[in-house]
Amino acid sequence: MDQEGRGFARRVAQVSAHESHGDKNVRWVENVSRGLRRVGFADEIASAEGCSRMIDHKGWFTDDDQQGDVYRGVVYQLPSRGEPLYVYGYDDPDNEDCALLCFETETKKLEAARRADRFAEVRAEEQREYQNAWRAGRRVEEIAEEIAKYRKDALAIGAEMRAAKQTVRVAPTICATLRAKIYGLYNEIREARKERDDLIDDFGERPGFAE
C-alpha cells in the first residue's frame, strides 16, 4: 500500500474506531467514494469471474420475513499505485455512500468477493437475531400487562360474588358461570407465564431483549 492508501486507512481507523463491532479491523465508513474505488457487489464480481455459482444470490435479508433490508456483500479498492488491495463489507441500505467494511486487505478480487458475501451473511444473521430478541422483549412486556389485567378481572369477579351472597338469594347457575370465568382467567395467567418464561429462556441473554 502506498502513502496515500496508508493515509486513508489511518484516517478511517481514527474516525470510526467506535464502530469496530468487536473487531479492530471492521470500520463504519461514511462518504466511502471519497477515499475508495467501488469495485462492485460480491455476486457481480463472482459472475464476471465465471464463478456465479459461488455467490448465487443478491444479498442476505436482515429479517426472517424477508421483507426488510438486505445486506449485499461489496468490494472496494484501496488507493494504491502498486498491487491492487481490496477491502470488503456491505453498503448501508439506508444511507447513501456509507458502508461497514473490514480492512483485512485481499490482493485477489474474487477472494475479496467471497469474504464480502460471508461478511454480509454474518452481519445479517446478527441483525435477525437482534430483531427477534427485541420482539421477544416487547412481548414479555405485553404479557406482564396481560397477566395484571387477568388477575384484576378475576379478583373483581370474586369480590362481586362474595358481596352478592350477602344480599341476594344464592343462584347456583350464576355462581357456577362466574367460577368458570375465574378459572378461565387463572388458566390464561398460567399460559401467559409459560410463554413469558419460554421467551426469557430463548432470548433473555441476547442483545436487544432488554431495550
**178: three-class secondary structure by DSSP:** helix
The helix (run of H) or strand (run of E) holding residue 152 is: helix 109-167
Report pLDDT digits (tens) over 98-116.
Answer: 999 999 889 999 999 999 9
In-domain check, residue 154: yes
CB atoms within 10 A of CB 42: 30
- Are 48 and 108 in contact by the 8 Å Cβ rule? The answer is no
Residue 168: per-residue pLDDT: 62
Structural domain for 192, as ranges: 134-203
Which residue has better confidence, 160 or 146? 146
118 and 99 housed in the same domain: yes
**β partners of residue 73:** 90
53 and 111 housed in the same domain: yes
Report how many domains make up the chain: 2
- Are 116 and 105 in contact by the 8 Å Cβ rule? The answer is no
Report pLDDT digits (tens) over 152-196.
Answer: 998 988 887 777 777 666 667 777 888 888 889 999 999 999 999
Q: Which residues contact 205 (CB under 8 A, 6 or more apart)?
A: none
In-domain check, residue 67: yes
102 and 14 housed in the same domain: yes
125 and 52 housed in the same domain: yes
pTM: 0.72
Name residue, grid cell 498491487. 83
Pairing of the two strands 60-61 and 98-106: unpaired
Name residue, grid cell 463472482. 46
125 and 140 housed in the same domain: no
125 and 188 housed in the same domain: no
% of the chain residues with pLDDT over 90: 55
DSSP state of 100: E
